[in-house]
Structure 1
Amino acid sequence: MTTSTVRARITAAGTGTPPTFYTQHELLRLFAVENPRIRSLFLNSAIERRYLTLPPAGEDGRPRTESQGELLRRHVRSGIAMARDAVQNCLKRAGAETKDIRFVCCISSTGFITPGFSALLIKELGIPHESARLDVVGMGCNAGLNALSAVTAWSTAHPGEMALMVCIEACSAAYAFDASMRTAVVNSLFGDGAAAITVMSGSDGPVRAPAVLKFTSKIIPQAIDAMRFDWDDEHGRFSFYLDPQVPYVVGAHAEAVLRRLLDGTGLRRSDIAHWVIHSGGKKVVDSVRVNLGLSRYDTRHTTAVLRDFGNVSSGAFLFAFERLLDEDVAQPGDHGVLMTMGPGSTIEMALVQW
């Protein structure tokens, strides 16, 4: 398989987080969690720390409960700040400036706003006002690859022009705090973060930028309620729900999706040199690794991102992708697989080649 000059290539990546982070032990102390089952969730998560923007303390010294309006405003305020850092870091690596951008795609599932982040970032960062834009909202942790499919299609149709994709997830602006296991699962896992990539097609792009060759997708309707972000009447706000069976559902279907991705390419699983997988949680990563026959080395960046950031939703796989680029081990001709999973339940994959 050879790449063509009209293939869209991922030319750079950058990430951004809030300025504050907390270890799992610090969070348990901060919220005075004594329930041994909940403590176990936090301390056996393979997560050491997460970047979060927590509400100010109430009279009892714990972070106070915020209204849905306050949470939404934090989603926007923190989201723009993280996205600004991610975009600036990405453009610096690409050797580009905001004036070079012609298409903006923003992805988020931790709040709902109109106009979306794409319009807000164009205004905030001074991106050309004539840039085309797209907002992908509410698709969840898998959404980065859904959006990348649209971004690469635009890029292929506009050779030589730069597209910017930004995943913006202020997960702490969607937390609900109580003593239930439903909220504990979420509160033990998710972190805040933004990740940006630039995409270009044409013959003038960097030689070592991976070309995006193919996408494949699978939705598992019988598990449609396994991952949700919906209205919680008890708390009067939106909140996440994760079914404990999610890791096994994802793992059981991963091999079939990979087989379809490689079908017709002449490639086998053993030909894939690099794996970039969404850091959905320890059990999710372990299930995918076992079902795809991967080594711990194959998932080293995924597990490192989980350890250092938690699950940053749609942008998590780009945090791992950034680490792969920084490692600088990919050689011309190498193939890689990008994989995300999320509500639906959905598995998304993309095949790339350096």
Structure 2
Amino acid sequence: MEKPLRHKVHEALGKAAAIAPRVTGVGTAVPPTTYTQQEMLNEFGITDPRIRSIFLNSAIEQRGLTLPPKLPDGSRAVETQGELLAKHVRNGLGMGREAIEACLKDAGATLADVRYLCCVTSTGFVTPGFSALLIKELGIDRHCSRLDVVGMGCNAGLNALTAVSGWTSAHPGELALMVCIEACSAAYVFDGTMRSSVVNSLFGDGAAAVALRAPARPEVPGETGSACSGPGLLRFSSCIIPEASAAMRYDWDEAQGKFSFFLDPEVPYVVGANAETALEKLLDGTGLHSSDISHWVVHSGGKKVIDSVRANLGLSRHDVRHTTGVLRDHGNISSGSFLFSYERLRDEGCVRPGEFGVLMTMGPGSTIEMALVRW
């Protein structure tokens, strides 16, 4: 008797998952200094009720940050763009190293196993990039292939993961690392304006690394020594919203003499309105529907963004529990936020073999990136 079409599609996806690049490890890192939202208001003496409301109604309890040094009078120094860039490199290298080491330990691998390193950042610019700096600092083999993805913003983790997944597919059995390094403290402007206050209330510092390896031969679920505990990356999709290209941007503030990030108040609604279109593109031809997705790993873009995505995709609060948890504990960590959520899902131990998941990030462009995974 011929199998139903839906069963055939699921069977094909299972075969694809058997040879797909797999997540074999994840690791995260944050700065040693953490501040609550109230402490941030106190640190900068913010009394404007509108700005205080933004901080205190953000669904964020605390964030890892490296604030400007204190002056003799107890106020915070105003950092130059050069000082911010130095902070970006210094803090980025520290967090990047910690995240990579944690990721490799989780994957049961060593630095000697690394054959490809992709570094993602949007909180500063430096040449040579973090990939070269980390290869030198960590002592990774000098012949390691590398890639730096710079300036793409919060969505960049999945943009880069597409490239890393492609590399691992072309090099079965070899280990690749991606690390998202975001020292958001190095991209702050403290000028008291509503524009900068929205940004300053939201972002936190952090780094997240993920290890990928494509099997040298098709894996069998439950097989001893297989990497089936981690999901296989089946496919990616990208949806850019050109009419909202200026809604999220990092541009030069002539008055402050430094770069400044801007978030349009309409961003949550723009992202939400296009989320269903992005998901349809991801699932097109797979035979899957949103009801077939058991796990959602969504970027912690902010309370309104998360609520808008939930409403437009019909997700429950439980579906985005790790997304909201990461926002609460760390704020928006830009490109690495979704990996913090993935780590929590993995640690929860609730995923079963054969289940599907969607990874989702959003950022400047305006862009929604997605990946379909299967455990």
1:99 alignment partner AA: A
User: Do structure 1's residue 2 and structure 2's residue 9 form an aligned pair?
Assistant: no
1:280-333 alpha-carbon deviations (Å, 9 max, x no partner) = 000000000010000000000000000000000000000001111111111110
> In terms of mean alpha carbon deviation, does 195-204 or 171-180 score higher?
195-204
- Secondary structure in 2 matching 1:208: coil
Corresponding residue of 1:122: 135
Superimposed CA distance per residue, residues 320-353 of structure 1 (whole angstroms, 9 cap, x where no aligned partner):
0111111111111000000000000000000000
The residue aligned with 1:184 is: 197
Q: Indicate yes or no: 2:149 matched with 1:136.
A: yes
Aligned counterparts of 1:205 and 1:145: Cα–Cα separation in 2: 24
Deviations 1:187-232 (A, max 9, x none): 0000000000000001464122100001111111111110001111
Q: Is the Cα–Cα contact under 8 Å of residues 11 and 205 in structure 1 kept in the other structure?
A: no
CA–CA distance in structure 2, aligned partners of residues 143 and 47 of structure 1: 22
Q: Are 2:173 and 1:160 aligned?
A: yes
Moved segments of 4+, more than 4 Å:
none
The separation in 2 between residues aligned to 1:21 and 1:30, in whole angstroms, is 12
Match of 1:58 in 2: 71
Question: Does residue 206 in structure 1 map to residue 218 in structure 2?
Answer: no
Which letter maps to 1:134? L
Letter in 2 for 1:196: A
Instruction: Give 5+ residue unaligned stretches, structure 2.
Output: 1-12, 218-224
| Distance (whole Å) between structure 1 residues aligned to residue 228 and residue 274 of structure 2 | 34
1-side partners of 2:200 and 2:79: how far apart?
15
CA deviation map 1:60-85 (0-9, x unaligned): 31221011111000000000000111
| Superposition pairs of residues 1-354 of structure 1, within 5 angstroms | 1-4=13-16, 5-202=18-215, 203=217, 205-354=226-375
One-letter amino acid matched to 2:195: R
Of structures 1 and 2, the larger Rg is shown by: 2
Contact 1:254–1:288 under 8 Å retained in 2 = yes
Does the CA contact (< 8 Å) of 1:220 and 1:346 recur in 2? yes
Percent of matched pairs sharing the same residue: 65
The answer (yes or no) to whether the contact 1:3–1:211 under 8 Å persists in 2 is no
- The structural deviation recorded for 1:235 is 0.5
Equivalent residues of 1:3, 1:353 under 8 A apart? no
1:58: Cα distance to partner? 2.0
Name the amino acid aligned to 1:323.
R
Distance between the aligned counterparts of 1:137 and 1:112, measured in 2? Answer: 7
Spell out, residue by residue over 1:243-274, the C-alpha distance to the aligned partner (whole angstroms, 9 max, x if none): 00000000000001101111111111000000
Quick check: 1:255–1:291 contact (8 Å CA) kept in 2? yes
Query: Are the structure 2 counterparts of residues 3 and 27 from structure 1 closer, same or farther at C-alpha, using a change threshold of 3 Å?
Result: farther
Paired residue type of 2:14: T
The Cα shift of 1:46 comes to 0.1
User: What SS class does the counterpart of residue 2 from structure 1 fall into?
Assistant: helix
**Residue aligned with 1:341, SS:** strand
C-alpha distance in structure 2 between counterparts of 1:113 and 1:36, whole Å: 38
Contact 1:274 1:298 in 2 (8 A): yes
Instruction: Report the TM-score when normalising by structure 1.
Output: 0.99
Mapped to 1, the partners of 2:192 and 2:185 lie a distance apart of: 17
Whole-Å separation in 2 of the counterparts to 1:228 and 1:347: 15
| Deviation of the 1:153 alpha carbon | 0.1
In structure 2, what residue type is equivalent to 1:36?
P
